[in-house]
């Protein structure tokens, strides 16, 4: 799949992107393995949502960016249970909640600290041994238990298609995600309030938006390739 070409400086690329994004789509700039100067440059261009994959890396960057208090930090990478507390302390959103066990742990920690983080459930709509996440059937059976976790704002889902799919196959994955999302929205859960469907990265975000994404997570197309 070819990446859409944005050109020019970082502010130019951000502006070009903004012109093409529907107003309901939120841009998370993914800055893993990129220096804090790039975060500052994107911030100066108006970006306020930043995504990182590792708790420790984010913690170090946040310490250097303490003068930018209105950033919303998004955790995108797999979270180990023993880092759950740190994740709560350093991120406003967790896109990568991938098990009932982790959810239960986060819920208890959030209750103890009077927090209510926004979390998204990571779901795999195709089998993929390289990724974490629920498969849709397993999630279906865990939803009633997740609905009981009142100290988490379980606000939607995140999905990543497997590598190497065609455009048509990738679009089909996103459409399956959108259908599942709608089914949960309409199921009448008390606590689960699905508003956000986080899907779409540098190589596939136009397809994700076409299928109904509300949050795209872009790294390379904004900041260049990672080492």
Ligand X SMILES: *Cc1c(COP(=O)(O)O)cnc(C)c1O
Tell me the residue number closest to ligand X, measured at CB.
219
Q: What interhelical angle do 36-44 and 10-20 show, nearest 10?
A: 50
Read off φ and ψ for residue 16, nearest 5 degrees.
-60, -40
Q: Which stretch binds ligand X (CB under 6 A): 7-15, 169-177, 178-186, 213-221?
A: 213-221
Neighbours of 193 (CB within 10 A): 13
Site string for ligand X, 107-126 (x = CB under 6 A): --------------------
- 131 binding ligand X? (CB under 6 A): no
Binding mask 7-36 for ligand X (x = CB under 6 A): -----------------------x-x----
CB 17, min distance to ligand X, A: 12
Q: How far is the CB of 148 from ligand X (least distance, A)?
A: 27
Task: Kindly state whether residue 218 participates in binding ligand X, applying the rule CB under 6 A.
Answer: yes
Question: Are 182 and 157 spatial neighbours (Cβ–Cβ below 8 Å)?
Answer: no
Min separation Cβ 112 and ligand X, Å? 28
Pairing of strands 49-52, 72-75: parallel
Q: Which stretch binds ligand X (CB under 6 A): 101-109, 111-119, 169-177, 215-223?
A: 215-223
Among 75, 154, 201, 208, binds ligand X (CB under 6 A): 201
User: Given candidates 25, 55, 76, 209, which one binds ligand X under the rule CB under 6 A?
Assistant: 76
- Output b/e per residue, 36-45; b: 16+ Cβ within 10 A: bebbebbbeb
Range list of β-strands (E), 37-77 = 49-52, 72-75
Q: Give the total of residues touching ligand X (CB under 6 A).
A: 13
The answer to whether residue 220 forms part of the interface with ligand X (CB under 6 A) is: yes
Shortest Å distance, C-beta 108 to ligand X: 25
Give the residue carrying structure tokens 């800055």.
31
* Smallest distance, ligand X to C-beta of residue 142, A: 21
Single out the residue of 156, 138, 23, 144 nearest to residue 93, CA to CA. Answer: 156
3-state secondary structure 99-163: CHHHHHHHHHHHHHCCCCCEEEEEECCCCCCCCCCECHHHHHHHHHHHCCCCCCEEEEEECCCCC
Evaluate whether 127 touches 173 at the Cβ level (below 8 Å): no
Residues that bind ligand X (CB under 6 A): 30, 32, 53, 76-77, 160, 201-202, 217-221
């Amino acid at each position: 799949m070819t990446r859409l070409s944005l050109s020019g400086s970082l502010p130019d690329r951000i502006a070009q992107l903004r012109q093409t994004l529907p107003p309901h789509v939120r841009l998370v700039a993914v800055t893993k393995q990129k220096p804090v100067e790039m975060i500052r440059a994107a911030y100066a261009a108006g970006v306020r949502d930043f995504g990182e994959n590792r708790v420790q890396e984010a913690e170090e960057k946040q310490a250097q960016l303490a003068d930018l208090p209105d950033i919303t930090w998004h955790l995108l990478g797999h979270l180990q249970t023993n880092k759950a507390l740190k994740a709560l302390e350093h991120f406003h959103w967790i896109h990568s909640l991938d098990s009932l066990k982790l959810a239960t742990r986060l819920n208890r920690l959030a209750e103890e600290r009077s927090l209510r983080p926004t979390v998204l459930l990571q779901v795999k709509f195709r089998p993929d041994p390289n990724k974490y996440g629920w498969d849709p059937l397993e999630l279906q059976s865990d939803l009633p238990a997740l609905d009981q976790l009142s100290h988490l704002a379980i606000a939607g889902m995140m999905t990543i298609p497997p590598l190497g799919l065609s455009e048509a196959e990738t679009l089909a994955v996103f459409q399956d995600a959108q259908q599942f999302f709608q089914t949960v929205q309409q199921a009448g859960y008390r606590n689960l309030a699905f508003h956000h469907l986080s899907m779409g990265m540098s190589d596939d975000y136009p397809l994700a938006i076409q299928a109904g994404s509300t949050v795209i997570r872009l790294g390379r197309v904004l900041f260049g390739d990672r080492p």
